[in-house]
Amino acid sequence: MNSIWIAIALGCYAISSGCFFFARERDRSRLAGWGAAMLAIGALANAIDLIARGFQAGNLPVATFGDSLPFLAILVAIIGLILIVRRGLPAIGIFVALVATVASAAACVFGTRGRLVLPATLRSGWLPVHVTLAFLGYALFLLAAGVSVLYLTYEARLKAKRPLPAPGERVPSLEALDRINYHLLGWGFVMLSLAIVSGAIWADATWGRFWSWEPQESWSLVTWILYAALLESRLTVGWRGRRAAALTIAVFTVLAGSFLGLSLMHPGHHAGNFD
């Protein structure tokens, strides 16, 4: 991975992180605005890099763990910008920018060096469909975890009668944060479900079987069950607020651990072994 665009994206994301961080102490509206602007520029540079590498590879360039990280970064940045601008949630900005920064930095370390050539089994129209759905689900779940952290932080400060991080800021209510968390979980679950279905169809077309029970597939199913149980608990048992936020973080920890651990140690058909 040697594109200058990913370096530009990394720099913009890092500056955005700084803007959102220092906005806690100074003129939040101006610094947060700069943070959002730099986040948008970083996402644009990220997109240019993705398109350039896609033309080189002949398909979506996500053959390995490192190559897929910029795609995750851009999805997190775009959805994060929607939360910041449309939902009035600038406090989530530092979380979004830091995730994009770390993902881009890791891509520089783990990404493919030189010309990217996809294996024959990945030169399929199912690749962008399956990967986009899966990474949209991951990005939505990640942001749901971020909103949950924000919920628990605000709740703790309110109970301790301490001021929220930015005096004078229009802070969403706890009910609004809980509602945003629920919507992110719901859409993330839909994306993950569609990703599993599309992956099964693609696997059958390529290897003659819908499911092979390799670690990535097994953990995807475990994660799907956990998120289904979490959503079910919200709908039927009425678990909301602090309990829902804590469970969202816990389930996302399982997702992140399985994604990172398996991608680096046992990629299987998903990140390096395509035979």
- Among the ranges given (62-66, 133-137, 152-156), the one the predictor scored with the smallest mean pLDDT: 62-66
The per-residue pLDDT for 115 is 62
List all residues 6 or more positions away from 158 whose beta carbon is below 8 Å from its beta carbon: 164, 174
The predicted model gives 196-211 an average pLDDT of 81
Does residue 146 sit in the same domain as residue 88?
no
Name the domain boundary from 92, 118, 144: 118
Residue 187 has pLDDT above 90, yes or no: yes
Res. 26 pLDDT band, cuts 50 70 90: low
The per-residue pLDDT for 146 is 94
% of the chain beyond a pLDDT of 70: 83
Residue 165 has pLDDT above 60, yes or no: no
Residue 2 has pLDDT above 60, yes or no: no
Q: Comparing 257 with 77, which gets the higher pLDDT? A: 77
Does residue 166 sit in the same domain as residue 268?
yes
Does residue 157 sit in the same domain as residue 113?
no
| Cα 76 to Cα 137: distance, rounded to the nearest angstrom | 10
The predicted model gives 51-74 an average pLDDT of 83
Q: What residue numbers bound the domain in which 32 lies?
A: 1-118
The per-residue pLDDT for 14 is 94
List all residues 6 or more positions away from 156 whose beta carbon is below 8 Å from its beta carbon: none
Query: What's the chain's average pLDDT?
Result: 83
Whole-prediction pTM: 0.87
Does residue 77 sit in the same domain as residue 148?
no
Name the domain boundary from 118, 136, 166: 118
Written as six digits, the tokens of 130 are 């399956």
Does residue 111 sit in the same domain as residue 171?
no
Nearest one of 216, 213, 211 to 261, comparing CA atoms: 216
Does residue 25 sit in the same domain as residue 125?
no
The per-residue pLDDT for 215 is 74
Res. 123 pLDDT band, cuts 50 70 90: confident
Q: Comparing 87 with 232, which gets the higher pLDDT? A: 232
The predicted model gives 74-84 an average pLDDT of 94
| Cα 146 to Cα 153: distance, rounded to the nearest angstrom | 11
Res. 78 pLDDT band, cuts 50 70 90: very high
Does residue 143 sit in the same domain as residue 226?
yes
The predicted model gives 213-237 an average pLDDT of 86
